[in-house]
Amino acid sequence: MKYPQLNRKKDLLIVGPIGFERFYNTYVKPIVFSKPFDLFKIEIMEIKDKMKFKDFIVEVHSTPHTAESLAYKFTANEKILVIAGDMDYDKELIAFSKNADLLILECSYDNNYKFEGHLIPKECGEIAKKADVKQLIITHFYPVPKEVRLKETKAIFKNTLMAEDLMKIDL
């Protein structure tokens, strides 16, 4: 948005977790905006638990990693997408993800390298299976052949894919 040649005219709504507005005003806005924009308005909204929009609902769940770590559930047209960032195993995420059409989880290491605050394939598969989701996508791979993680996850939850850059999924 800092490039005038983009000529944005439509107002922009940015939704983030509690504390996002302060973060945006302190760290993002001073860097990105070199001059005031009078062609469009930016509105910041913070979501605590649940927010309803015209065509969809967003819900938030705190996950075990850091105090700021969250999972988001998007519900629209009877379809459910759940996305979680860095996190450790979380029984509450199972209930949060129940019957989701798509669950996206980080899978940083293979089953031989369990590190606190990160999921391994076995845990990803267990969460997806217990939540009875339709499809699981694993992402956020650290070194070690990522294909190993796909194989290990599929051993528990068959309908698993590995995320790829520019991947598109139809729900």
Task: Express each pLDDT in 98-132 by its tens digit.
Answer: 999 999 999 988 999 899 999 999 999 999 999 99
Q: Which residue has the higher pLDDT, 155 or 33?
A: 155
User: Residue 146 has what pLDDT?
Assistant: 78
Q: pTM of the predicted model, to two decimals? A: 0.86
Q: Which residue has the higher pLDDT, 59 or 146?
A: 59
Query: What is the DSSP-derived secondary structure letter of residue 24?
Result: I
Residue 14 to residue 54: CA distance in whole angstroms: 15
Residue ranges covered by each domain of the chain:
1-47, 49-171
25-34, 86-95, 126-135, 158-167, range with the lowest pLDDT:
25-34
The string of DSSP letters for 40-92 reads S-EEEEEESSEEE-SS-EEEEEE-SSSTT-EEEEEEETTEEEEEE-S----HH
Quote the mean pLDDT of the chain.
90
Q: Please name the fold of domain 49-171.
A: Metallo-beta-lactamase; Chain A (3.60.15)
* Residue 143 in this model has a pLDDT that exceeds 60: yes
